[in-house]
């Protein structure tokens, strides 16, 4: 699931192609027509579906459509790779411990929107990113993997976000692998 540029989505696809992650990305769902993630999916030959949140009467109805889509695609895990929507109990309950999110802070610090801006405003010297299981409380689920990124003197929102995103690309495939291993979904060959 992605809303924007799709670089984390592409990092997952590449990790699968390079056999760093013994899995397959079978579908991408976006909520913004024509977003960068859609273009990446088309270029990579991954099926993409747009479920524009603006056409649904509620978050619950959007999540119902997501559940139907993912069940029809027979997915084992759902990854929120830059999905800029709060999900409901409906999606979380349909994929218990099978819904992974990437967030640009060292949770539990700076939950919610604009974590990079929150970190800069707080004056911290260490930021980072967290991949976690999704729970009903925003950005509060079980932490799978974290990566720390120093906040440098003179960092702008963009410069810090770029360094954090580079770490997101590294840890998201690791977290998806850990989530799959916890559920017995991966059967690695020696």
> Which residues form the catalytic set?
103
Question: Rg of the chain's alpha carbons, rounded to an integer?
Answer: 16
**How far is the C-alpha of 5 from the C-alpha of 7, rounded, in Å?**
6
Instruction: Give me the phi and psi of 48, to 5 degrees please.
Output: -125, 140
Phi-psi domain of 112 (left: phi exceeds 0; alpha: psi -120 through 50; beta: other): left
Name every residue whose Cβ is closer than 8 Å to that of residue 97 and which is 6 or more positions away in sequence. 133, 142, 179, 182, 183
């Amino acid at each position: 699931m992605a809303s924007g540029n799709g670089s984390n989505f592409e990092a997952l696809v590449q990790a699968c192609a390079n056999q760093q992650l013994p899995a397959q990305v079978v579908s991408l769902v976006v909520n913004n027509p024509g977003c960068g993630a859609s273009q990446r999916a088309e270029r990579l030959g991954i099926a993409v579906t747009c479920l524009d949140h603006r056409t649904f009467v509620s978050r619950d109805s959007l999540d119902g459509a997501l559940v139907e889509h993912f069940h029809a695609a027979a997915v084992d895990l759902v990854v929120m790779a830059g999905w800029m929507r709060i999900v409901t109990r409906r999606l979380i309950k349909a994929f218990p411990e099978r819904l992974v999110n990437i967030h640009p802070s060292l949770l539990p610090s700076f939950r919610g929107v604009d974590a990079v801006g929150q970190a800069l405003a707080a004056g911290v010297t260490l930021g980072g990113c967290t991949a976690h299981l999704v729970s009903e409380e925003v950005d509060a689920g079980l932490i799978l993997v974290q990566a720390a990124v120093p906040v440098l003197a003179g960092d702008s929102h963009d410069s810090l976000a770029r360094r954090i995103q580079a770490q997101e690309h590294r840890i998201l495939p690791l977290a998806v692998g850990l989530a799959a291993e916890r559920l017995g979904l991966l059967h690695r060959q020696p």
